[in-house]
Amino acid sequence: MVALPGAPPEWLPGEAEAHVLPTENTPGARLVWEQRQLPRIAGSLGAQLLHLTTTTPALFSSVPVVLSPADFLAPKPKGLSSRLREALAGGGLTRLGGLFWPAELESSPPQEISSALFRLPAEPYPHISSGQAPGAAQLAALNLPETYILYHGPCDVAALQRLLAAWSWACGPVGEYYPVLLLGLDDKARQRLPSLAGEYGCQNTLRPLPVLHPGAIPALVQGCSAVFHPAPLAAWGGAARLALAYGKPLVAAETPQAVALAGPAAYLAPADDSRALGAALLTVIVEEQVAQTLGEAGLLRAAGWDSRSFGEALFAAYQAVLSQS
């Protein structure tokens, strides 16, 4: 059963039973949704577990809560509702029934999460062409360029500024032939992007994408020339993992999590050095041998991921949490 704050998307699997409680996308409404509505919905449906993918669990929940974090590191909140949301979520993190962490990430989970730790194998990744993707028609309608760089990361102002600061060092030589496609932007980011791009002089080399069917994202990654992620990675999901799985060169900010995930299979540069990040991306685009070497290293890295047992391991983790509650 899936609890949603709005109408379910068309791509929601038929096996999923959607339960919708319309909720505005504001800090105050999100606070109420996370702290009151989600636990209430789970309890009313008789759910045995509440599984979250964002690090914002309720402080009090009658249903055991588990977390597989797939959200990006967010900037410090502003406003009373946002600060209260962070404080309550921090308390909720100390009361989790279990934390699901990728087994291939040798780095430790955040210290503020002290619940039972379950290391799960990698998610299964489909190998499909753009014409076979569930969102194939949507991809075709986008008229994607033959060559492009993909950004699928956080979209707050600070993250976009970091992206554009790095891209400004590379867009002059390659931007015309290798535009950056931006996936996952919210409405605020879309409105802010043109003015930010103008400040960095790269407004003609960026192309924000609409919301896509999740099944289309693997094909989008497989068709790119490089994945650019100058920001901290999310523990689960994200284009960085797909880049390794599909043998695409990955250029990312050097963080403990990026080192643990990619190792030598990515071109890493300091997160606060926009020039180094831009130079790394330019190198991967211009020097084919570097791109090929990184791609091959990514495939080798991903070959050790045991994605076939993901479902079984997830179910076993659920059972273990329930046995402890």
Distances (CA, A) of 93 to 195, 196, 236, 269: 37, 35, 17, 31
CA torsion 236-239-241-246 (nearest 10°) is 150
Residue showing tokens 């802010």: 192
pLDDT tens digits, one per residue of 141-195: 888 999 999 999 999 999 999 999 999 999 999 999 999 999 999 888 999 999 9
For domain 136-303, the CATH architecture is: 3-Layer(aba) Sandwich (3.40)
- Side by side, the strands of the sheet bearing 206-208 are 206-208, 180-182, 149-151, 226-229, 250-254, 266-270
**Neighbouring residues of 150: CB distance < 8 A, sequence distance ≥ 6:** 180, 181, 183, 220, 221, 224, 226, 227, 228, 239
- Choices 2.60.40, 3.30.70, 2.40.50, 3.40.50: CATH for 2-122+309-324: 3.40.50
Which sequence spans correspond to the domains of the chain?
2-122+309-324, 136-303
Do 2-122+309-324 and 136-303 have matching folds?
A: yes
pLDDT of residue 85: 83
pLDDT of residue 137: 81
The pair phi, psi for residue 95, each rounded to 5°, is: -115, 15
CB distance 55 to 93 below 8 Å: yes
CB distance 162 to 231 below 8 Å: yes
DSSP codes joined into one string, 87-144: HHHHHHHTT-SEEEEETT--SPPPTT--S-EEEEPPPP-----TTTSTTHHHHHHTT-
pTM of the model: 0.92
pLDDT tens digits, one per residue of 239-251: 999 999 999 999 9
DSSP codes joined into one string, 209-221: -----GGGHHHHH
What are the residue ranges in the chain where pLDDT is below 50? none
